[in-house]
Amino acid sequence: MNLAQHSTGIRPRLVALAAAAAAALIGGTAGPVAAAPPTPLSYVALGDSYASGFGAGSYVNACGQTPLGLPGILDTKKQVDLVADATCAGATVAVEPGGALDLPEQVARAVASGALSPSTDLVTVSAGGNDAGFGQVAGVCATRPTAECEQFIAVQNATALPALERALDALYGTIGSAAPCATVVVTGYPHLFSPEEETPVLLPVASQTAFNEGTDAVNTVIRSRAEAHGFTFVDLVQKFEGHGLGSTDPWITFEPGAADNLHPTAEGYRSGYFPAVRSSVNFSQLQR
């Protein structure tokens, strides 16, 4: 074989080797494909005035919704996407004709719109205070002697709490059926007063204690039914300790004549509600 024939035979093999080397080099320098960021949690907010953010100001509608309440705060987090805020001040667990947008109506609307569904990841609920007559109790305890305040709370608890328990069971069952894959977070109610400061603001000190104990009774019912349905109960009493009315740094509203009295302030939602929920639920772990 002469040199011309030899070089002709070698050239195709060199070209093939060079192409293979180039392909290997290109493949070797390409980094791993970046993983897609996790999808934000599909979040639905349900509940009463303590859910809508009443007390914080900057209201956007007649239901007392505000970006300064818990739903608005959660919606600012990158892991959470608020797809429906059905909360409304005055809402009850059991439907009251002619009243606010009550919880069963909120759930029905959220289901009809497709917001509350098997694809929902997170639901927050605050409900029960209106059914237990918080407003009526506050009125009696603010205007009558402590003995009458205590008696009214005892009668109210005996009549309202059994009905509340049944209504919560029905409500939680409906939510669980509509959003079977969701983490459902049920918030209790904070103490509105700090009687340990011995400041007779709005109520006598002894009546403040009685009102707080009445709140504890309502929270016990809410916790019991929430946990029975596999939901996460968030206790707000500890977070608000030392921040009730009568304290030097209250997170509860009270201005004479104000419509949103006896509700958390913007600071109460920001420094009370949000940390309490965040410590109970790991949003990153819930993301898919």
Catalogue the active-site residues.
49, 263
Report the candidate in 207, 128, 135 with the shortest Cα–Cα distance to residue 168: 128
CA dihedral angle for residue 135, residue 138, residue 144, residue 145, rounded to 10 degrees = 150
Euclidean distance between CA atoms 216 and 280, whole angstroms: 19
Answer yes or no: are the C-beta atoms of 232 and 223 closer than 8 Å. no
In terms of C-beta distances under 8 Å and separation of at least 24 residues, what long-range contacts does 147-156 make, across chains too?
149/203, 149/207, 149/210, 149/211, 150/207, 150/210, 153/210, 153/211, 153/213, 153/214, 156/132, 156/214
Q: Which residues contact 185 (CB under 8 A, 6 or more apart)?
A: 122, 123, 124, 125, 231, 232, 234, 277, 280, 281
Instruction: For residue 87, give both structure tokens.
Output: 């909360």
Report the candidate in 31, 67, 37, 71 with the shortest Cα–Cα distance to residue 51: 71
> In which order are the strands placed within the sheet that holds 122-126?
80-85, 41-47, 122-126, 183-187, 232-234
